[in-house]
């Protein structure tokens, strides 16, 4: 999800305005991640996993399928004995969000310390449920960089917060869940139905990673930095009737399913995480890794310089000797990025860089796509291989997910460098991730995981996407694909474009700087 530009547009077009301010509040008490309880089930399984690798390595398992990725979160949360720390950009009030909140509530009731940090942009509808969770002994909920306006739609709340635009335009985009400081799930997915193949309308193609080992303690330390920052405000800073909030949470979570149905084995032939935890050993790949996160003070414009997630990842791309495969749903390279790509030395359409991003019909941010489209021809001329995920082509491949009647949209943020290293996290390759949102990610040194991701490129994303090529004269773009019957499909104009979309982009593009996208 990359909705901040769309929400900004809504506020600019609105005809009313108003002011609000944050209430005076006491800062939340400082707390740190708890040490892994060595005699608890998760710590014991992690110990057995790590014993198969080299000293100092962590261990990882890719989670490409939505249902399996969500149930992995539930599996480690249900087995937590001491602590759960969770950090998300979005938790929606739907079946998935309610199931997740129920697990956190149940964990708190059995004595687990629960810390939940949520970016405040989309909490207008869910704040009563979050307050209900915070009313549980042992559970604490904080909102990151809260908007002055409370309740209602995100568009309306932004409208009433425009007097603090420089602050509220900065959002926490991180996604992380840590259980007993022993296992963690990180990646691109928020907590909502469309991220886990549970929406009837449109679902996201995404990927997470399950981790154990030292990298989990590193992620916990990064979480602590956010939790204890002045930008994380306890949900109790706003008045709530504790009894009413708990009753609202009880009503909501009572409607949630027990779990999401998943296949016996996912596309990587992996069984459910819960099944392996019950057996006492999770099949994971040992590897050294580095955890990355922007500083929480990025909301003040402190971007982190060379230590930022985007800067670190771009530097990683610059070390490539043979190839870089990039998946980014929102991709705006800018002139600096375009020049860097040209400097890699690719000279034809089979060059060293492959990009997978959203087609116009798949994107939920057409303005972002319009700015990316300004760079496409130059990217192709520089030798970049470009694939654009199609909402219709994605329905024809189950390796990208089981879409049913819904359409597919790309949301994964991953990269493979030289078939040796991978990046996976919350970061898009666009100005908003670089300058405005905070991001989190992992860099993992593993040829095994790199090959798994490359296989997903070939078998999932590429088969669900248009391949872009240069026209015969080298000055135009041609979109090519193969239909379910094996017949070639060729477009010489943008697939899925409409007159209304072109008109809307034409009207709104002058209002929105590329730096805000």
Active centre residues (catalytic): 173, 175, 180, 411, 413, 418
CA distances to 97, 187, 311, 414, 439 from 431, in Å: 29, 19, 12, 17, 12
What is the C-alpha to C-alpha distance for residues 153 and 157, in angstroms, rounded to an integer?
6
What is the C-alpha to C-alpha distance for residues 140 and 129, in angstroms, rounded to an integer?
12
Instruction: Answer yes or no: are the C-beta atoms of 269 and 262 closer than 8 Å.
Output: no
Rg of the chain's alpha carbons, rounded to an integer? 22
What is the C-alpha to C-alpha distance for residues 66 and 197, in angstroms, rounded to an integer?
6
DSSP 169: T
What is the C-alpha to C-alpha distance for residues 153 and 163, in angstroms, rounded to an integer?
18
Instruction: Answer yes or no: are the C-beta atoms of 468 and 376 closer than 8 Å.
Output: yes
What is the C-alpha to C-alpha distance for residues 332 and 517, in angstroms, rounded to an integer?
8
Residues β-bridged to residue 286: 59
What is the C-alpha to C-alpha distance for residues 58 and 249, in angstroms, rounded to an integer?
37
Among candidate residues 173, 127, 120, the one with its CA nearest the CA of residue 145:
120
What is the C-alpha to C-alpha distance for residues 326 and 457, in angstroms, rounded to an integer?
9
Can you give the three-state secondary structure of 179-236, one letter per residue? ECCCEEEEECCCECHHHCCCCCCEEEECCEEEEECHHHHHHHHHHHHHHCCCCEEEHH
Calculate helix-pair angle for 4-13, 366-381, nearest 10 degrees. Answer: 130
Instruction: Answer yes or no: are the C-beta atoms of 161 and 149 closer than 8 Å.
Output: yes
What is the C-alpha to C-alpha distance for residues 171 and 173, in angstroms, rounded to an integer?
6
């Amino acid at each position: 999800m990359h909705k901040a530009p769309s929400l900004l547009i809504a506020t600019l077009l609105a005809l009313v305005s108003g002011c609000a301010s944050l209430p005076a509040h006491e800062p939340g008490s400082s707390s740190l991640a708890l040490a892994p309880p060595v005699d608890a089930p998760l710590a014991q399984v992690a110990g057995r996993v790590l014993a198969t690798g080299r000293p100092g390595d962590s261990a990882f398992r890719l989670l490409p399928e939505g249902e399996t990725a969500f149930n992995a979160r539930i599996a480690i949360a249900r087995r937590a004995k001491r602590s759960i720390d969770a950090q998300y950009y979005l938790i929606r009030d739907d079946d998935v969000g309610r199931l997740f909140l129920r697990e956190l509530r149940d964990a708190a009731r059995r004595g687990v310390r629960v810390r939940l940090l949520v970016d405040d942009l989309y909490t207008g509808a869910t704040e009563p449920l979050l307050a209900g969770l915070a009313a549980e002994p042992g559970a604490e909920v904080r909102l990151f960089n809260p908007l002055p306006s409370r309740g209602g739609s995100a568009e309306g709340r932004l409208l009433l917060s425009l007097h603090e635009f420089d602050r509220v335009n900065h959002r926490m985009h991180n996604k992380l869940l840590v259980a007993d400081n022993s296992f963690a799930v990180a990646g691109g997915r928020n907590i909502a139905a469309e991220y886990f193949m549970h929406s009837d309308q449109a679902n996201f193609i995404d990927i997470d990673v399950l981790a154990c080992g030292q990298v989990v303690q590193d992620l916990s330390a990064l979480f602590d930095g956010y939790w204890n920052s002045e930008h994380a405000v306890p949900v109790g800073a706003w008045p709530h009737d504790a009894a009413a909030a708990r009753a609202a949470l009880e009503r909501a979570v009572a409607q949630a399913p027990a779990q999401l149905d998943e296949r016996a084995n996912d596309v990587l032939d992996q069984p459910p995480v819960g099944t392996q935890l019950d057996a006492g050993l999770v099949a994971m790949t040992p590897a050294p890794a580095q955890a990355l996160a922007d500083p929480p003070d990025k909301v003040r414009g402190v971007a982190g310089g060379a230590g930022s997630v985007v800067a670190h990842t771009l530097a990683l791309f610059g070390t490539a000797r043979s190839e870089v495969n990039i998946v980014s749903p929102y991709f705006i390279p800018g002139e600096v990025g375009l020049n860097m790509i040209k400097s890699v030395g690719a000279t034809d359409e089979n060059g060293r860089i492959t990009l997978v991003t959203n087609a116009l019909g798949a994107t939920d941010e057409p303005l972002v796509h319009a700015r990316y489209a300004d760079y496409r021809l130059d990217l192709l001329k520089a030798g970049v291989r470009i694939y654009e995920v199609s909402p219709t082509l994605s329905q024809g491949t189950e390796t990208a997910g089981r879409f049913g009647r819904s359409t597919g949209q790309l949301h994964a943020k991953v990269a493979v460098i030289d078939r040796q290293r991978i990046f996976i996290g919350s970061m898009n390759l666009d100005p908003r991730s670089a300058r405005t949102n905070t991001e989190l990610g992992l860099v993992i040194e593993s040829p095994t995981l790199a090959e798994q991701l490359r296989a997903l490129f070939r078998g999932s994303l590429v088969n669900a996407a248009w391949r872009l090529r240069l026209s015969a004269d080298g000055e135009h773009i041609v979109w090519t694909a193969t239909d379910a019957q094996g017949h070639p499909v060729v477009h010489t104009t943008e697939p899925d474009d409409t007159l209304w979309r072109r008109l809307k982009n034409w009207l709104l593009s002058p209002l929105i700087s590329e730096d805000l996208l």
